[in-house]
Amino acid sequence: MDILGRTTPIAIGERTKSKDKKMNSIILQQPGKIVFGINALEKLPEDELILSSEKILFLIAEPVLNLLQPIINQLISIGKIVEVITYNFPGEPTFKQFDTLLAQSVEFNPDCVIGVGGGSVLDSAKLLAAMTGNEQQYADVVGVGLLKKRMKKLICISTTSGTGSEVSPIAILLNEKTEAKSGIVSPALLADAAYIDPILTVGLPPKITAETTMDALCHCIEAYTNKFAHPAVDTYALKGIELISKNLLNAFNDGNDLEARAALALGSMYGGLCLGPVNTHGVHCLSYGLGGKFHISHGLANAILLPAVLRFNLEASPERHAEVAVAMGIANEKDNKATALKGIEKIEELSFACGIPSSLTALGIGENDLPALADIAMNVTRLLKNNPRELTREDAIGIYKTIV
């Protein structure tokens, strides 16, 4: 009798193969706790992670420092030793910039690290919590699964509805020498607690609202049309696509529209929850060079590439791409391809309405730059392998050419 009580055991090889590929096993790992909703942040001072800590390090995006000051004062008044580092680097931290942050964190030696900001701030906070006092060097943990453990407690508080970093096991550093983004992926980077309070996004300017939200939309669409898409994640992805496409323009046109802000925060959280188990594909892969070499913001780079990559991928899975369109509110056309194309047009309309340019030329990138961009993309194998259609260097150049 085998461990499942069967008298005729199934051979291991058979047992691990599901007839329905989509129901293969998947690992869903999320933060220890997600505190979501309007005024969620009010619960922070009574969080057990804070109450059980003596020394607390805040890494805060400079524009939201004032918003956090009352909470910081409250923690000091109950005897906590608090150090605040303001994050004011443009975009992802370079290795050198992260060295500076890590030196400060090592000197303070906190019990708990709290990141407050967008993706770059949260990624940095996650790495500070992991690397402060860690015998591993951070240069040795770049890649998938190489970071073995996190040393400090970690709370991530998002102030944009975009990267989903607060709920993902991923952090990105920029290698200033190679101009390549370096991904560190490990369950150790999942926060003990993520706080998502839409009120923190109310002050975001329209441009940043649009770019960060388009990033979240990419997370959802790339997960749903992913080669490794999975029913356990599809539900998050489709709901995220629906929430974001319905509410982006409202939040863009009126930053104080709290209902729209809350919907985008939820959609972005769903997008973030897609990142660990399934992750992104060709859009994020092709955007790496735009960020690393041309310092174009992550969300903007993805937004420009999204329609072009979806048009390329469409033939690999017309049904999945049509379902994305339907989640965006598109009615079914005569066939899946036609429905999917309407969805791609709707993405372009959304981007246009938010002032996102449709071409790389508008960002100062020309045809001569495309081979180098394609070379960078080909090195992002951890995302390239997820694309539903094989994507070669020539294909990458071809996709870039459609938007030059």
Q: Which residues bind Fe ion (CB under 5 A)?
A: 215
Smallest distance from Fe ion to CB 383, Å: 10
Smallest distance from Fe ion to CB 163, Å: 6
Smallest distance from Fe ion to CB 286, Å: 12
- Contact predicate 192/31, CB 8 Å: yes
- DSSP code string of 359-389: -SGGGT--GGGHHHHHHHHHT-HHHHTT-SS
Give the CB-nearest residue to Fe ion.
215
- Dist. CA 168–CA 186, nearest whole Å: 9
Smallest distance from Fe ion to CB 79, Å: 39
Q: If you search the block for the tokens 């869903």, which residue do you land on?
A: 28
- 215 vs 234 by CB, closer to Fe ion: 215
Smallest distance from Fe ion to CB 350, Å: 17
Instruction: Please count the other Cβ atoms lying within 10 Å of the Cβ belonging to residue 374.
Output: 21
Contact residues for 153 (Cβ-Cβ < 8 A; gap 6+) = 49, 52, 53, 111, 112, 113, 129, 192
- 102 vs 376 by CB, closer to Fe ion: 376
Smallest distance from Fe ion to CB 257, Å: 24
Instruction: Please count the other Cβ atoms lying within 10 Å of the Cβ belonging to residue 48.
Output: 11
- 41 vs 191 by CB, closer to Fe ion: 191
- 71 vs 350 by CB, closer to Fe ion: 350
Q: Which of 285, 203, 210, 273 is nearest to 238 (CA)?
A: 273
- 105 vs 279 by CB, closer to Fe ion: 279
The β-bridge relationship of strands 170-175 and 180-185 is antiparallel
Q: Which of 159, 278, 161, 177 is nearest to 209 (CA)?
A: 161
- 102 vs 305 by CB, closer to Fe ion: 305
Smallest distance from Fe ion to CB 216, Å: 8
- Contact predicate 287/305, CB 8 Å: yes
- 129 vs 170 by CB, closer to Fe ion: 170
